[in-house]
Structure 1
Amino acid sequence: MPVQPVHVTAGRAAIALVPLAAMTAAHIGPAVTWLPGLRRRLLPRLAGTGRADHVALTFDDGPDPASTPHFLDALDGLGVRATFFVLGESVVRHPPLTREIVERGHELAVHGWAHDRPWLPSPVRDAAELARTVRAVTDIAGSRPRWYRPPYGILTSGRWAAARRCGLTTVLWSAWGRDWTADATAASVRTTIESELRGGGTLLLHDSDRTSAAGCWHAALGALPEVVAACRGAGLSVGPLAEHGMGA
């Protein structure tokens, strides 16, 4: 059997990689929507832009019995309701807390089954895990979720398609508090939010530190009263995505 020249072998290998590269680009391409400026300008619905006189308050990464109850108590004290983007694996681990979020007037949304990074295409797994999370939330809390936010805000074509098949609307955010870092404080969270948040915006905070720096949820909790007060002082109401005028 004749030996192929090296340049021929290399050329064939490069050609074979073209479909893989194209598939990977199609998979991860939508992740460019992570860029907040681009998202707000070109995809306002994905950025969570709603009623101009309203701010949507959202929390990611729960439910967590070590921290979520503190947020529920604080929100009760403030007279505010919010949307909690929950992880399926935490929902099934903490059913009573999941139900309590709804019983106390808040809205549940889907953050995925686990908080993983979707670098490699896995559309079958994405679809199965998202559907599994929707079923868990519906069965345990008694209400079907309407919204989806992928972990880290990294949206892929597979996860977008999976969300649509589950009847979920994908919503990222227009402002955040950078409350997941080890050096976050109530003051830093508040300052970061105030530089980005406007009427019609969706605010991202975290009610758990399971996927971030230990204890960082204290910063978000500490900032919450002044953030709500600042919104109200500007004539803005604060509430869940269900009241944000975005439809479903």
Structure 2
Amino acid sequence: MRRALTTLAAAGLVAGAAAHALPAVTAFAPGRRALLPGLAGTGPAERVALTFDDGPDPASTPLFLRMLADYDVRATFFLLGTMLEQDLGLGREIVAAGHEVAVHGWYHRCLLWRGPRATHDDIARARDLVGGLGGGAPRWYRPPYGVLTTGALLACRRLGLEPKLWTAWGRDWRAAATPDSIVATVTSTLVGGGTVLLHDSDCTSAAGSWKRTLDALPRLIDWSRARNLRLGPLGDHEPVRP
């Protein structure tokens, strides 16, 4: 009997862990784009959503804002609570420049190792801080590393957030990344209706990686415009909620 109970308990733990981690399979980009286009950020074929993660960073984000203003492009910034807390004024500058702000969590930690309560508190804390910047209640949530869990999905439902990942990225966080590699990586999978993931901060990336992203950005804008794709934030890329 004791052995049977131990076996049942172990099976329960395994089942619980599997249920917790199951949404993480959406981190696999090709399958996500094909099977879950809404989560992947697929929108109208004539548009491309431009998104940045991990800011705001006073060393780099103002330079991105300046370049985007020069090109008359708006984007969505997924903000980290730990970064925003250090410079609320910069967060308000993002909103004042016409960009959309969204939630990337408080800490940049993989949610697979966090329980439902800790996950909810992390997302809620970041949502409240982002919501106080003057851009209205944030609509989007993107988990660190693009890894969702059941707890994160439940927290988003309770907090009025919609998870949103991406269809194309630049792998710009790597030390080996170059402006050329970023452009090539993004454009290898980007088509009309896609969502691009880049980073305006190196707080969780290779030191100085944001400089390569900044150098690549004009070429990505030109590439999109040459194909008559309209760049903008996710809010312009997605239907408005009723």
Q: Which stretch of the first structure deviates more once superposed, 48-57 or 161-170?
A: 161-170
Q: Name the SS of the counterpart of 1:194 in structure 2.
A: helix
Return the match for 1:234 from 208, 221, 227.
227
Return the match for 1:18 from 11, 17, 20.
11
Aligned twin of 1:82:
75
Aligned twin of 1:149:
142
In structure 2, how many angstroms separate the alpha carbons of the residues matched to 1:141 and 1:207?
21
Aligned-pair identity (%): 51
Aligned twin of 1:243:
236
Structure 1 or 2, whichever has the larger Rg, is 1
In structure 2, relative to structure 1, the CA distance for the partners of 1:239 and 1:142 (3 Å cut) is: closer
1:92 aligned onto 2:70: no
1:213 aligned onto 2:203: no
Structure 1 stretches of 5 or more lacking a match? 1-7
Aligned twin of 1:59:
52
In structure 1, how many angstroms separate the alpha carbons of the residues matched to 2:117 and 2:134?
26
Q: 1:53-98, CA deviations, whole angstroms, 9 ceiling, x for partnerless residues?
A: 0000000000111111111011011110000000112112110000
In structure 2, how many angstroms separate the alpha carbons of the residues matched to 1:150 and 1:106?
20
The answer (yes or no) to whether the contact 1:27–1:121 under 8 Å persists in 2 is no
Moved over 6 A (4+): none
Per the TM alignment, residue 29 of structure 1 is displaced from its structure 2 partner at its CA by: 0.5
The answer (yes or no) to whether the contact 1:45–1:246 under 8 Å persists in 2 is no
Structure 2 stretches of 5 or more lacking a match? none
TM-score by length of 2: 0.96
Tell me the number of residue pairs that the alignment of Structure 1 and Structure 2 aligns: 241
In structure 2, how many angstroms separate the alpha carbons of the residues matched to 1:142 and 1:189?
30
In structure 1, how many angstroms separate the alpha carbons of the residues matched to 2:2 and 2:154?
37
Aligned CA RMSD, in angstroms, stands at 1.3
Aligned twin of 1:130:
123
In structure 2, how many angstroms separate the alpha carbons of the residues matched to 1:109 and 1:38?
24
Per the TM alignment, residue 10 of structure 1 is displaced from its structure 2 partner at its CA by: 5.6
